[in-house]
């Protein structure tokens, strides 16, 4: 059996994974990707001059990168959970090599 701390981590990962298994997750994921694409779109950047537009682009790019990183983190948690859940109930053994 996994220790308390490990069990808690795996449990939290499982909760995130269960959200992504819900039928609404693909819709949420698509909506986030569309929003990220809009932030990366340079055609509708507002600003009075090149400096303002440049700053706006920097901000939009940073926001899009954070949103994408968050989405990738969710995918990573799910992937890690799929791997880690096998250890939750498994007995652990310490094996020593003979001298």
Output DSSP code: residue 17.
H
pTM: 0.74
Phi/psi for 49 (5° steps) reads: -145, 180
Q: What does the domain layout of the chain look like in residue ranges? A: 4-88
Buried b (16+ CB within 10 A) or exposed e, 10-45: beebbebbeebeeeeeeeeeeeeeeebeebeeeeee
Encode pLDDT of 26-77 as tens digits: 999 999 999 999 998 888 888 889 899 899 999 999 999 999 999 999 999 9
Q: Can you tell me the distance from the alpha carbon of 25 to that of 60, in angstroms, rounded to the nearest whole number?
A: 24
């Amino acid at each position: 059996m996994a220790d308390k701390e490990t069990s808690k981590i795996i449990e939290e990962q499982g909760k995130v994974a269960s959200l992504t298994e819900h039928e609404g997750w693909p819709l949420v994921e698509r909506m986030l990707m569309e929003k990220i694409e809009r932030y990366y779109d340079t055609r509708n950047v507002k600003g009075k001059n090149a400096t303002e537009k440049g700053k706006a682009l920097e901000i939009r790019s940073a926001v899009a990168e954070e949103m994408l990183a968050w989405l990738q983190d969710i995918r990573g948690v799910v992937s890690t959970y799929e791997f880690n859940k096998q250890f939750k109930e498994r007995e652990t053994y310490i094996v020593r090599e003979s001298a």
